[in-house]
Amino acid sequence: MPPVSRRSFLQSSALLAGNLLLPSGPAFAGLQKALRLGGPIFLKSDDPDALAREHRRLQYSSAYVPPVELKDTAKINAIRKAFADQNILIAEVGAWVNMLDEDAEKRRKNLTYVIERLALAEAVGALTCVNIAGSYNPKHWDGPDARNLTTDYVDATVENCRNVIDAVKPKRAKFSLEMMGWSLPDGPESYLKFIKAVDRPAFGAHIDIANIINSPSRYYNNTALINETFRILGRWIASSHAKDVYGKDGHFAETMPGRGGIDYGAYLRNVTALPREVPLLLEHLRTPEEYDEARQFVINQATKAKIQLA
């Protein structure tokens, strides 16, 4: 692949910052779809039918993959059937490991794990397998490191994504990267560069707007950031996450939807205007009560925007 310099990535970021000052609306103007809201559940059960019914009780129409091993074909098939019977999309399979670990053996094991997770996503009918690109930080798999903005980082990530996809050759499931604050991709422009560089139909996009709100301009102009992100990446988006961000002691902190500054009306309008059904998944909360609050906020915002639940 052609080398991608740190300068070119930074130039793209500067252009995006300029674009955030421009008024804009939802990226797609087609027929609005129903919202595929999802999130973790707290029901302790190995019964796929019971798990699917619990999702529906909570008004979820998309889901994280339930615990299952790739080798357990019978359970995979049972999950597919149970969730399809309840009209629930299995949105994503997480593969949260560092694909750039400095330890060669750990890196090899991590990549093997990611390949297995993408294979599981394909087998269970999930829309995507999600990971982050990783980090060269020696202590934290998602931590800051200046090398995360280098050509070596970009080249290694492109090679990793290609190797994962080529090992599985998925026909439906996508492999996607979550945008992060301390590593690439860190916004829609840099993500688009990865899409072009990876050059695989099975490489998709994953949206977590909260993760890329890391400056005052992005925070106070997040409506334009949302619209621009969906405009640039919309055709590749496979799934999205629902969090929020607020200012705390001079920094940005994550919180549940509704307790921060993200324009959820714009977020929901963009998610539901995409050419295909794209799940929006709650995450990172601790208790059922917290998820109840976050879920109800999103539902209320959808109601205000005249968006139905799937």
pLDDT of residue 219: 97
Q: Which CATH code is given to the segment(s) 6-304?
A: 3.20.20.150
Contact (Cβ atoms closer than 8 angstroms) between residue 138 and residue 102: yes
Residue 70, both tokens: 């790739």
* Global confidence as pTM: 0.90
The domain ranges of the chain are: 6-304
**Rounded to whole angstroms, how far apart are CA atoms 130 and 123?**
15
* Number of residues that make up the chain: 310
**Rounded to whole angstroms, how far apart are CA atoms 291 and 106?**
34
Q: For the chain, what is the total number of helices (H) and then of strands (E)?
A: 10, 10
Per DSSP, what are the bridge partners of residue 155?
none
Residue 205, both tokens: 């996009």
List, for residues 89-128, the tens digit of each pLDDT value: 999 999 999 999 999 999 999 999 999 999 999 999 999 9
List, for residues 152-211, the tens digit of each pLDDT value: 999 999 999 999 999 999 999 999 999 998 999 999 999 999 999 999 999 999 999 999
Answer yes or no: is pLDDT of 17 > 80.
no
In degrees, rounded to 5, the angle at the alpha carbon of residue 272 between the alpha carbons of residues 194 and 67 is: 70
**Rounded to whole angstroms, how far apart are CA atoms 140 and 93?**
22
> Hunting for tokens 């499931």 — which residue is that?
173
**Rounded to whole angstroms, how far apart are CA atoms 12 and 32?**
30
% of the chain surpassing 90 pLDDT = 88
Answer yes or no: is pLDDT of 9 > 90.
no
